[in-house]
Amino acid sequence: MKINTNVTAMRANLNLNTVQDRLASSTQKLSSGYRITKAADDAAGMAISRKMRAQIRGLARASKNGSDGISFIQTTEGALSEVESMLQRCRELSVQAASDTYGIDDKKTIQDEIDELRGEIDRLSQQTEYNTMSVLDGSCCRQSSSTNVGVKLISASDDVSLTTYKLTVDTQATQTTATSGTLTFAPGDVVTEKETGIIQINGESIIVKEGETYEEVFSQIRDYCEMMNIDVAPVDGTGAECDLANATSLNFTSVLYGASYDIEITADNPELATKFGVDGLTKVVGKDATVTLDTASGFSNTATVFVDGGRVEITDRNGFSMILDVSEAEANSEAEVTMLDAGYISIQIGANEGQTIDISIPSISCDALDISNVNVCTSKGAAKAISAFDDAIQNISAIRSKLGAYQNRLDSSVSSLDTTTQNLTEACSRIEDVDMSEEMTQYTQYSVLVQAGTSMLAQANNQPQTILQLLQG
């Protein structure tokens, strides 16, 4: 037996260290619950499980994104519900104003309420927010740029492609104007009995009574014109605006553009007509703009154009719709409208790149809904208002319907994501998680081997002592 090198003890120690390492590893697995606690435990399994873990965390975050998107849609839809209620009220008021049983003062009161409701609609359009982000001002839909400052995009459907659309404004939109003949009164003159009568402006009657001053009559004319979207101003011989005392005639101008906004002024008394120059009235009817689409650009040959004043609506197959305002565009001017995709709300609903849902919400301002100019102070205007509010209600209903479709899709996405996350977690568990019964068996085995190895090491270390005792004997 060799005593310089205790080979038996070395071997016993080596085996003991090996078993102790395995025992430590088994202890770590049992305490953590994971089969793979370091790469050495299962290199391939760790690589697979880490990719799965990244996917699982991404899917869980995507599910939360979907829930946030649902909250976003619910916030928006709640505001749209209020807008629809206000539009219903406006339509009700328009129906009321269409009846001739209500006088001009009554209709003005009705118009005041409609104006306030429209103001609230515009406020909701500008101030409805989700997480400090405006949602109804048009920033969440297709944006555009134009080479012509007089051509502005009001709205565009999701089916408008991201390209450049070219058009030419052939005829400029103009307003209807009417200029009276020479005025034959001084502001302070009093209306005599033979000068009394009725002045009608677009079908609405102004009763001129004996004893009124002509300045008071003009004040009534101005107020009635304002209610009917007509500007009236005293002008001198050069056509420049002036005060009533220095005026030679009255100039009437429609606030709105186009041929459909006419100005009709009559008087049932020739004496009264002469005083206000109604008998010498000259009128220039406004014109609708005319445009030509360049079909070599984004417009197709099947596109149709509808023009009302300076408002141009272009429609085509497959839901294509584009509304432009060309009121300020000059005649024979060209424009390039480039559609941009910068306004969508994109919601990440997957763990990987490109797995998104784009949500588009158009502007619901009064301009976008085409109700900015409704006026119920005349029966004709009230009839138009009914139609305008019908279209606006239909527009809002379509937006709400689209939001409902978005929400249903997000609900399905969240449900699918949760199911996929659960399945992937289960698959990852099969790779990562330790089998407690199996590992406990291994732990017990390693514990016994450590105890046995410790005992054998002690015996191996005791062998040289036995030899020394023999030598001493």
Q: What is the dihedral of CA 200, 203, 209, 212, to 10 degrees?
A: -60
pLDDT, residue 414, reads 93
Q: How far apart are CA 438 and CA 100, in angstroms?
A: 92
Q: Which residues pair with 336 in a beta bridge?
A: 166
Check pLDDT > 90 for residue 299. yes
Torsion angle of alpha carbons 209, 214, 216, 218, nearest 10°? 110
* Residue 433: closest CA among 19, 18, 42, 40: 42
Supply 70's token pair. Answer: 């649902």
Q: What is the pLDDT of residues 87-119, one digit of tens each?
A: 999 999 999 999 888 888 888 899 999 999 999
State pTM to two decimals: 0.76
Residue 473: pLDDT over 90:
no
Q: Is 465 exposed, middle or buried (0-12, 13-18, 19+ CB in 10 A)?
A: exposed
Percent of the chain predicted with pLDDT > 90: 51
Mean pLDDT for all residues in the chain? 87
What is the structure's pLDDT at 8? Answer: 74
In this prediction, residue 471 has a pLDDT band, given cuts at 50, 70 and 90, of low
Q: What is the pLDDT of residue 265?
A: 92
Report residue 330: phi and psi, to 5°.
-80, 160
* Distance set, CA 224 to CA 19, 67, 144, 257, 460 (Å): 103, 53, 39, 19, 120
How far apart are alpha carbons 239 and 353 in whole angstroms? Answer: 66
The whole-angstrom separation of Cα 50 and Cα 429 is 11
Note the pLDDT of residue 133.
87
List the single range of 63-72, 122-131, 258-267, 444-453 with lowest mean pLDDT: 444-453
Cα separation, 197 vs 194, whole angstroms: 8
Mean pLDDT of 392-411: 93
Amino acid (1-letter code) at residue 192: T
Contacts for 5 with CB less than 8 Å, ≥ 6 apart: none
List the beta strands (DSSP E) in 175-229: 175-179, 197-201, 204-208
Mean pLDDT of 319-342: 90
Taking Cα atoms as reference points, which of 143, 107, 102 lies closest to residue 322?
A: 143
Residue 3 has pLDDT above 70, yes or no: no
Q: Which of 312, 316, 321 lies closest to 300, judged by CA?
A: 316
Kindly state the percentage of the chain with pLDDT values over 70.
92
Tell me: pLDDT of 459 over 90.
Answer: no
For the chain, what's the residue count? 473
Phi/psi of residue 435, nearest 5 degrees: -85, 105
Task: Give residue-wise pLDDT tens across range 136-147.
Answer: 888 887 778 888
Q: In angstroms, rounded to a whole number, what is the distance separating the alpha carbons of residues 129 and 160?
A: 26
Start-end of H helices in 98-203: 104-127
Contacts of 353 (CB under 8 A, 6+ apart): none
In this prediction, residue 378 carries a pLDDT of: 82
CA angle, residues 130, 133, 139, in degrees to nearest 5: 120
Q: 358: pLDDT confidence band, cut at 50, 70 and 90?
A: confident
Alpha-carbon gap, residue 466 to 472, rounded angstroms: 10
Checking if the pLDDT of 394 tops 90, the result is: yes
